[in-house]
Amino acid sequence: MWKMMLLLFGLLVACSNGSDAVPAATSTAQPSSSSTAAGGVSFSKGLGTVTTPRLLDCPGGRVSAIGEVTSEDGVKWVVPAKIATGMTSAGDLSNPCTRIENRSLTDVNLDNVPVVEIDPDGVVITGYIYADNYFELYVGGKPVAKDPVPYTPFNASIVRFKAKYPMTYAIHGVDWEENLGQGTEDNKGSKFAPGDAGIVAVFSDGTATDASWKAQTFYIAPLTSKDSLRLEEKDGKEQRLSPQTSSPPACGTDCYAAHFAVPDGWYAASFDDSRWPNAVTYSEQTVGVDNKKEYTNYRSAFGKGSFIWTSNLVLDNEVLLRRTVEKAPK
Ligand SMILES: [Ca+2]
Ligand SMILES: [Ca+2]
Ligand SMILES: [Ca+2]
């Protein structure tokens, strides 16, 4: 009897949570929600509705749109990701849209890059970032800059900030998409090619992206079936594992996508990322940058780091990356 009453109470709580599970308008990434099903995952199926047709007008680039899908449990999700508003754009190392191109790092005039003050008594650090396709950088829980080009053409960025140790780096990474809610784009002879990702960031204090960073995925697509996603607990880490495939899925524009709520304050220094898996490193060849001058022109910096992402470079489309550095690396 008591068991039955507890069960009913649990169901009532679960249902009442469902009604307030709308995206928070001011949060940085995806909606916060306590109503998602087992493992915190929600599934949507099919194309999203366009809400912002074009974030950036740049000849030769893919259309960087934002859309919305509703998952089977009634939660609305922004795809490919809810991005920060009001964050300033990073400086350009190379950007075909602004036609700024430093031929090498020695051409860069650091005086042209504003220093974002995180801590008045901090040290000034310069960072170089290349993302496939989009990043937002936070340091010490405060916004530094976002990638000025959300999708393509590919670009490379420079940031400067003043911050003190211990220093928490937090990056919101997005692999953009043409078929909103599907994680696919017109590429390599298919309208539904799953796009791939990767990011490298190198900072003047010696910090760089590598396997010591934490990485978790929050949007996985395309999935041909819901049970192709495996949620596993391994060594105390929350693993969200999807098939390692880059083939266009047979589901076309009717594939499944998995969504997880982005935790509030995920970029704060105090946020507990102990259950996130470590980042996985990928080679230049795997990320496909060894023939892109927006990367190779600055290899003297980028080569000090590694491309990282979660365990699936193709299907994981929205990832959060974190690393806390206790003191200046030697
Ligand atoms: Ca970009
Ligand atoms: Ca992808
Ligand atoms: Ca991509």
Helix (H) or strand (E) holding 96: none
**Is residue 12 in some structural domain?**
no
Question: Residue 269 and residue 272: Cα distance in Å, rounded?
Answer: 9
Which pLDDT belongs to residue 15? 36
Ligand nearest to the CA of 315: 2
Which pLDDT belongs to residue 6? 42
| Residue 193 alpha carbon to ligand 2 centre in Å | 9
Cα separations (Å) of 181 from 184, 225, 235? 8, 15, 31
Question: Does residue 307 contact residue 287 with C-beta atoms inside 8 Å?
Answer: yes
Token code pair at residue 46: 């099919």
Ligand nearest to the CA of 222: 2
- Rounded mean pLDDT of 102-125? 96
Is it the case that residue 10 has pLDDT exceeding 60?
Answer: no
List, in order, residues 6 or more apart from 289 with CB less than 8 Å away. Answer: 130, 132, 154, 198, 295, 296, 307
- Rounded mean pLDDT of 98-126? 96
- State how many domains the chain has: 1
| Residue 148 alpha carbon to ligand 1 centre in Å | 7
| Residue 164 alpha carbon to ligand 1 centre in Å | 27
Q: Which residue has the tokens 């530094």?
A: 144
Task: Count CB-CB contacts under 10 A for residue 56.
Answer: 12
| Residue 328 alpha carbon to ligand 2 centre in Å | 34
| Residue 33 alpha carbon to ligand 3 centre in Å | 27
Question: Residue 160 and residue 88: Cα distance in Å, rounded?
Answer: 12
DSSP code, position 24: P
Q: Which residue has the tokens 């980042």?
A: 279
- Rounded mean pLDDT of 243-255? 97
| Residue 315 alpha carbon to ligand 2 centre in Å | 4
**Is residue 6 in some structural domain?**
no
Is it the case that residue 102 has pLDDT exceeding 80?
Answer: yes
**Is residue 9 in some structural domain?**
no
Is it the case that residue 36 has pLDDT exceeding 70?
Answer: no
**Is residue 144 in some structural domain?**
yes
Reported as a pLDDT band with limits 50, 70 and 90, residue 328 is: confident
List, in order, residues 6 or more apart from 113 with CB less than 8 Å away. Answer: 91, 126, 158, 159, 160
Reported as a pLDDT band with limits 50, 70 and 90, residue 1 is: very low
- Rounded mean pLDDT of 309-327? 98
Ligand nearest to the CA of 56: 1
| Residue 52 alpha carbon to ligand 1 centre in Å | 18
Question: Does residue 47 contact residue 253 with C-beta atoms inside 8 Å?
Answer: yes
Backbone angles phi, psi at 227, to 5 degrees: -80, 0
Ligand nearest to the CA of 312: 2
Interval 219-233: pLDDT, tens? 999 999 999 999 999
| Residue 99 alpha carbon to ligand 3 centre in Å | 21
| Residue 230 alpha carbon to ligand 3 centre in Å | 23
**Is residue 16 in some structural domain?**
no
**Is residue 88 in some structural domain?**
yes
Cα separations (Å) of 115 from 88, 126, 207? 12, 9, 18
Nearest by Cα to 144 from 129, 157, 161: 161
Residue % of the chain over a pLDDT of 90: 86
Residue 4 CA to its chain's centroid (Å): 42
Which pLDDT belongs to residue 28? 44
Is it the case that residue 22 has pLDDT exceeding 80?
Answer: no
More confident residue, 35 or 312: 312
Q: How many residues in total does the chain contain?
A: 330
| Residue 220 alpha carbon to ligand 3 centre in Å | 13
Is it the case that residue 16 has pLDDT exceeding 70?
Answer: no
| Residue 320 alpha carbon to ligand 1 centre in Å | 16
By residue range, what is the domain housing residue 288? 22-325
Ligand nearest to the CA of 242: 2
DSSP code, position 224: S
Question: Does residue 310 contact residue 214 with C-beta atoms inside 8 Å?
Answer: no
**Is residue 15 in some structural domain?**
no
**Is residue 218 in some structural domain?**
yes
Ligand nearest to the CA of 198: 3
CA angle 126, 132, 133 (to 5 degrees): 95
Task: Report the sign of the C-alpha dihedral through residues 20, 24, 30, 34, in that order.
Answer: negative
Which pLDDT belongs to residue 178? 98
Question: Residue 240 and residue 253: Cα distance in Å, rounded?
Answer: 23
| Residue 1 alpha carbon to ligand 1 centre in Å | 58
Which pLDDT belongs to residue 19? 36
Is it the case that residue 330 has pLDDT exceeding 90?
Answer: no
| Residue 111 alpha carbon to ligand 3 centre in Å | 31
Mapped onto helix, strand or coil, the DSSP state of residue 12 is: helix
| Residue 315 alpha carbon to ligand 3 centre in Å | 10
Question: Residue 251 and residue 222: Cα distance in Å, rounded?
Answer: 9
Ligand nearest to the CA of 156: 1
| Residue 74 alpha carbon to ligand 2 centre in Å | 24
- Rounded mean pLDDT of 245-272? 97
CA angle 95, 97, 100 (to 5 degrees): 45
| Residue 199 alpha carbon to ligand 1 centre in Å | 10
- Rounded mean pLDDT of 61-84? 97
| Residue 70 alpha carbon to ligand 2 centre in Å | 19
Q: What is the pTM of this model?
A: 0.89
Average pLDDT of the chain is 90
